[in-house]
């Protein structure tokens, strides 16, 4: 015990640099940004060195009356539809590639390539696919699912732009979650599945009764990460719409609203942008709690 107490200051000393970095680059921006959400503070204030002016809930009243903000939040919530599709597909493919088959390493690497592909390169490729003369239209025409005279530009049509960008998010995240699921699958003792087979369980019963319950912590982690990524989607929207929010604001998301209020236009309204960011953070917090409750209860039942 005495030895432990003597070693404690040294341990804290080693932790101090990381703790300082955490305070400077994470804690302080979060606290200061939260404070700005309740103030009036623009680039003009910054240029004249005028301190932020406290206005209480003024920014939130502005957001409540801003139709564009409503659209952006609705689009961000709608973007959550990618989460179940992404998780189910990733888990299913992880089960398939988690086998010792000839050449399986190639498939594992191939599925992971989109994760390491830069968004700018992905934008060039997907723009080529979504173009009115692109691969997607050519394929649909070949399958007689589109009339030969149609020339749909998927990213410029308000009915398809949102789903087209969501598909890119699915494509980029699929390999990442597949790897996480594979790590979880490799922690399941093989004896359990072997015993189930000896008891006459079918592959589906073995998957549903053994694999899924034991994978609950990994499913929780992956679902939580993808939910937070979906509600905070920005990168794809910025790249594919040049930050305009797409046709008729069909791809205008909540974080794009924050970005545009902070760095777009002429006013640089940091106070309003911070308030919008707080709303997004609150939604993300609620979704995180729901995820924890849903999957923890499932884990307990299992």
Asked if residue 49 lies in contact with residue 193, where contact means CB atoms within 8 angstroms, the answer is: no
Residue 6: the pLDDT is: 64
CA distance 255 to 252: 8
Residue 3: the pLDDT is: 60
User: Higher confidence at residue 150 or residue 267?
Assistant: 150
Which residues touch 124 (CB under 8 Å, ≥6 apart)? none
Residue 255: the pLDDT is: 94
Residue 264: the pLDDT is: 78
The predicted-structure confidence for 207-235, as pLDDT tens digits, reads as follows 888 888 889 999 999 999 999 999 999 99
Rg (CA), the chain: 24
Which pair of structure tokens corresponds to residue 179? 């790897």
Is residue 101 predicted with pLDDT exceeding 80?
no
Residue 158: the pLDDT is: 92
Residue 90: pLDDT band with limits 50, 70, 90: very high
The predicted-structure confidence for 38-81, as pLDDT tens digits, reads as follows 999 998 888 888 899 999 999 999 999 999 999 999 999 999 99
Residue 190: the pLDDT is: 82
* Residue 40, strand partner residues: 53
Q: How much of the chain exceeds pLDDT 70, in percent?
A: 95
Tell me what the mean pLDDT of segment 79-85 comes to. 94
Residue 102: the pLDDT is: 77
Residue 193 CA, chain-centre distance (Å), reads 33
Tell me what the mean pLDDT of segment 89-103 comes to. 86
Residue 7: pLDDT band with limits 50, 70, 90: low
Residue 201: the pLDDT is: 84
Largest CA distance in the chain: 83
The predicted-structure confidence for 270-301, as pLDDT tens digits, reads as follows 999 999 999 999 999 999 999 888 877 665 55
Residue 20: the pLDDT is: 93
Residue 53, helix vs strand vs coil: strand
Residue 273: the pLDDT is: 94
Tell me what the mean pLDDT of segment 20-42 comes to. 93
Residue 64: the pLDDT is: 95
Mean pLDDT in the chain? 89
Residue 302: pLDDT band with limits 50, 70, 90: low
Q: How much of the chain exceeds pLDDT 90, in percent?
A: 57
Residue 272: the pLDDT is: 94
Q: Report which DSSP code applies to 79.
A: G
């Amino acid at each position: 015990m005495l030895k432990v107490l003597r070693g404690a200051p040294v341990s804290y000393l080693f932790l101090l640099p990381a703790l300082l970095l955490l305070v400077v680059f994470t804690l302080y921006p979060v606290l200061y940004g939260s404070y700005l959400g309740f103030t009036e503070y623009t680039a003009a204030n910054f240029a004249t060195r005028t301190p932020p002016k406290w206005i209480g809930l003024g920014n939130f009243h502005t957001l409540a009356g801003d139709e564009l903000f409503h659209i952006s939040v609705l689009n961000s919530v709608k973007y959550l539809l990618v989460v179940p599709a992404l998780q189910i597909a990733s888990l299913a493919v992880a089960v398939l590639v988690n086998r010792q088959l000839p050449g399986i390493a190639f498939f594992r690497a191939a599925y992971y390539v989109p994760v390491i592909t830069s968004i700018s390169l992905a934008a060039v490729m997907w723009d080529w696919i979504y173009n009115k003369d692109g691969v997607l239209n050519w394929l649909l025409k070949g399958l007689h699912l589109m009339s030969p005279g149609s020339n749909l530009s998927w990213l410029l049509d308000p009915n398809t732009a949102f789903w087209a960008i969501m598909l890119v998010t699915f494509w980029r995240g699929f390999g990442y979650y597949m790897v996480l699921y594979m790590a979880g699958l490799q922690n399941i003792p093989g004896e359990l599945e072997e015993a189930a087979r000896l008891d006459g369980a079918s592959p589906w019963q073995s998957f549903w009764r053994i694999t899924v319950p034991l994978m609950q912590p990994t499913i929780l982690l992956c679902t939580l990460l993808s939910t937070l990524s979906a509600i905070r989607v920005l990168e794809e929207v910025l790249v594919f719409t040049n930050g305009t929010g797409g046709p008729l604001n069909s791809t205008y998301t909540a974080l794009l609203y924050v970005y545009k209020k902070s760095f777009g236009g002429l006013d640089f309204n940091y106070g309003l942008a911070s308030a919008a960011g707080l709303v997004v953070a609150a939604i993300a917090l609620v979704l995180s709690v729901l995820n924890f409750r849903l999957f923890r209860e499932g884990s307990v039942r299992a």
